[in-house]
Each structure stands twice: as structure tokens, then as C-alpha cells.
A and B are shown apart, each in its own frame.
Chain A
Amino acid sequence: MSNVLAIAQKELKGYFASPIAYVVIGFFALMFGYFYWALLGFFVEQSARMMGLQGGPTQNVNEQMIRPVFMNASVLLLFTLPMVTMRTYSEEKRSGTIELLLTSPITDFQIIVGKFLGAMGLYAAMLAVTFIHMGVLWAFGTPEWKPLVTGYLGLLLMGGCFVSIGLLISSLTRNQIVAGFVTFAVFLMLWVINWVGPFMGPRVQAVLDYLSITTHLDDFTRGIVDTRHLVYYVSFIAFGLFLTARSVDTERWRG
């Protein structure tokens, strides 16, 4: 465990010692703020209109404002997380520091989990910045806090899937740009994989819907923690890390 922590801390410090952390957090905070502002404006306008109508439906800030903000934020992960994971392994391979890690008395899996936790630490910091946005809502209204918590949990798990794939792809190449771009391409594919579902027949559609990484986020943003989705995300992450371990091991044989 202390080895895992050592690697995770090193990774996290590495992000903040280079511009990556600041660029990624800055971009995420900016775009999140923009979505928040746009959707809040829309919600306020909508509420004003509804108040004019007698007996109109009551407005719910969780359903009509926070939930779309979460869904939009998940799009941002598509762009930001490849930047976080692209250098995890490729940089170590290119600079030769991978020799230090692989000849130290730690296991490959400790290295991988350490790197995963390091990237997740940065991602958590990214999400933490947005607590400010959400906190402001309490100053002017009374949103429910539970769907907010599950929404963040959903985003964290979905990001975990992306990070584990990002690690895998980074372990396959020593070129950061290639790693970043391929990671982005794979994320995008996982995003839109169920778009062709409706005209592929119900059976294929069910499979594609299950594979699509976004369909599982929906319930979380509604305040529902469904074990199906939990199992999906957790097994996705575990599988990604497992494949990374295989990839690092084959790399040893190839030299």
C-alpha cells in the first residue's frame, strides 16, 4: 500500500509541477462555469414564465438545472481526461524512467494502481472546483443535496473508466500525442456507440446501450444509485487496469 501511495503522490505532484494540471483544471472550470451560467439563466427565465401562469408545474432546480449541467460536464471529460492520462506511461517509456520503476522492488500492479489513483486525484481536484458553483445555489434556493452527491459519484466513476482506458493506451506507445489522440478517439467511440442502436434491432440495441458509457451516468444524475451501473463502472475500471497490466508485461518481453 505504501508503494501505491508513493507512486500516486509522485504522479499527482508531477501534474502540478508541469502546466498540465493548471491547463486541465482551468479549462474544466471555465467550461463548467459557462454551462452552469447558461443553464441557470435558462432555468431562471423558465421559472419566471411559469410563475406568470397560474397553477403551472413547480420548478425543480435539481431536475431542470443541475442534471443538465452534470450531463454537459461529462462531455468535458472527453477532452480533458486524455490530456491527464496521455503521458502516464508514454513519458516514462520515452525518458527511460520506466526502468527505475520496473527494477524497483514493487509489482507492476502497484505501479498501475498508483498511477490510476494519481490521475484520479487530479480529476477529483477538477471536480472539487465545481463545488463552488453548486454551493452558490444554496444561497438563493433549496436544492436537494442527495442527487448532487450521486451525480458527483457518477462523474467520478465515469472518469475512472476513462482514466483506466487512458492508462492502457498510454502504456501502448511512447508517443504522448498518439496516446492522447487515440484515447480521445476511443472515448468518443464509447460515447456514441449506441447511436446506431435504434436501427440495429432490439437485441443489438440493448447490448450497445449497455456498452455506452453515458447511459449509465443518467441514473446517477437523477439521484439513483443502481447496482447495475455501479457494477458496470467498477468492472470497466478493473478490466482497463487489468489490460494495462498485461500490456506492461508484454512490453517487458519485447524489451
Chain B
Amino acid sequence: MIEVQHLTKRYGPVTAVDDVSFKVERGEILGFLGPNGAGKTTTMRILTGYMPPTDGKAVVGGYDVQEQPIEAKRRTGYLPETPPLYPDMTVRDYLDFCARIKGVPRAERLGRVKTAMERTRIADVAHRHCGKLSKGYKQRVGLAQALLHNPDVLILDEPTAGLDPKQIIETRQLIKQLGGDHTVILSTHILPEVSQTCGRVVIINRGRVVAIDSPENLTSRLRGSETMFLQIDAAGADPKDTLKAVAGVTQVRVAETRGPVTVLEVESSQGRDVRRDLSAAVVNRGWGLLELRPMRMSLEEIFLHLTTEDTAGAAAESREVPVE
């Protein structure tokens, strides 16, 4: 449904998007993840035909965005980072105008506007001026605008920004419903959003694609080594050496000592389950094994890992990239 090939965008000397390629199948929800300034918005703007790429091409719904922009745009709904509202228009007038320029036939216009308002739960503000709405409503009016012409492809730039927690959940549910009928690309820097709504994730940093995979695969693939979390009542003894002697263990760190209880993190080489041996070693010494569990890398950690590690040369600099 969406095909992006070697997309590059330069603003003068700055390369905002650098050789980005990916594919999105019909009905899929793709998450676009990256720190601020990574090139998410630029990529989306190219996909929607707002700006041309310096190099490469984007195909939406079978139409090249550059060659046949009108056909491609007819099949795309776009919610920009700031909802594009006219403050002096009422919500209904605004949506009616949007429906007109998106080519919705006159006979269907009223119905489409009504459906979009119902889906995004904004019917109660239909007669209010867009400029007077709260951030949450503005965002949802923007979303309604993107849905109006029932497009095959939805491109949503941070759809949940500025919403309260309840609205965030509702919007995520809406996006999930939309997947299936529509192909959705959404960008965000909120990580749980990705794992909750998206089937696949593209992690982008400094204009480059760092990883494309499902959230689950990313989590497991990136576990370079296994880490176990242990709490041991060693009655005053130091359990460190005992644990280090277990086959497969590469590193032992004492995280905390609370009286007789020692909290440790034990790293082992990948693919080797050391839990059995660890517990045996502890119990054989007559100590109490209070807790033993594997530590998983959260998506946050993976994200930090990916967006800092791949640019090893500029590691110091990129570590300062804020992740919000």
C-alpha cells in the first residue's frame, strides 16, 4: 500500500532523511519512532506530497506521490503535527470545507462529516469555533479531517499529543479499529504507544532507519545478553564469587545490600539458561533464594540502545539526544 524507496531529503547542507526505505502492507499499522528531529515529520510530509524528496520515491496506494500527486493525495488522510484548523470557522464548517477540497461528492458530504465527527467524538463541539477548542478537541478535529474522505492510507503525525490519558486510550482504540480497513502510519516518541497499537515499528534516528520489526521481535532480538535479577539471604557472606563460579555466568554486580539480603544482577552469555544452576548454587550453600527473575529490556532501553549505539563515532553527541 505504501512503498518508500531510498528516500532522501536535504535542506541545504542538512540531511533530514537519509536513504530511507520501507514497505507497508494493506491494513497494517506502522509505528514511526524516533527522537525529536530524527526525520519523522519530513518523511511523512514527503509521503503526503507536501514536499518533494531530494532523491528516491514514495508510492502510496499504487500512485507515485511525485508523478501523480492528485491521485495519491485522494487516497491519503493526513494529520500534521499541529492540527491544521482555521480558528474563525466552526467545526462543522471546517469539516465541510475539508470534505469539499478532498473531493467528497456533494450528496455524501453531510453524511461523511457526521460519521467523522462521531468516530472522533467531537459531535458536541460541532458549532463551536475551532480556535476556541481545547488542545484535545483540536487534535481530534484534525483527526476527523484526515478520516473524512475515507482514505486508504492514514498518516498521523503524533496523533495523541496534547490529549489527556482517557482521550489517549480512546484515540489509540480508534487507530486500532482503523487498521484493517486503512493502512496507518503513525509517528510518536511515546514508546508504549507503539507496543500497544502498532504491528510493526520503524525506528529512525538522524534520518536513517535503525531498525524495522515488530515490537516483540525488537525486544527479544536486542537482548544481547541475558540478565538475571537475584535477591539472596546469604547471612552475611559475600555471594559474589559463588555465583561467578556458575558455568555460563559472565558478570556479577552487587546492586544493593540490605542487612543480610544482597541484591545482585547476574549477566550470562546469550541463549544459555543459567537459572537452574544459579538456584542450585545458592541453595547448596544453605542460603535463602528470595527472588530470581530474568530482566527484560524495555522498549525504552532498546530505543536508547539503538539510537545511541549505531552512531558509535558520534556516540558522545548522540547520547545527548533527548528522548521524550
Contact = CB atoms under 8 A, between A and B. Distances in A.
Nearest to A3: B101
Contact of A103 (B48, B82, B103): B48
Interface residues of A, number: 26
A137 interface: no
A105 interface: yes
Contacts of A99: 45, 50, 78, 80, 84
A102 interface: yes
Nearest to B16: A255
A10 B94 CA distance: 9
B89 interface: yes
Contacts of A10: 86, 89, 97
B8 interface: no
A7 B45 CA distance: 22
B74 interface: yes
A177 to B, nearest CB: 18
Nearest to A98: B84
Q: How large is the interface on B (under 10, 10 to 19, 20 to 34, 35 or more residues)?
A: 20 to 34
Interface in A1-33: 2-3, 6-7, 10, 13-14, 17-18
A96 to B, nearest CB: 4
B236 interface: no
A105 B93 CA distance: 19
Interface in B41-62: 42, 45, 48-52
Contacts of B84: 95-100
Nearest to B78: A103
A2 B97 CA distance: 11
A252 B82 contact: no
Given A3-B100, A6-B100, A105-B70, A252 B85 contact: no
B102 interface: yes
A6 B97 contact: yes
14 contacts: A10-B86, A10-B97, A97-B84, A97-B85, A99-B80, A100-B98, A102-B50, A103-B76, A104-B73, A105-B70, A106-B70, A107-B70, A255-B42, A255-B45
Interface of A: 2-3, 6-7, 10, 13-14, 17-18, 95-107, 252-255
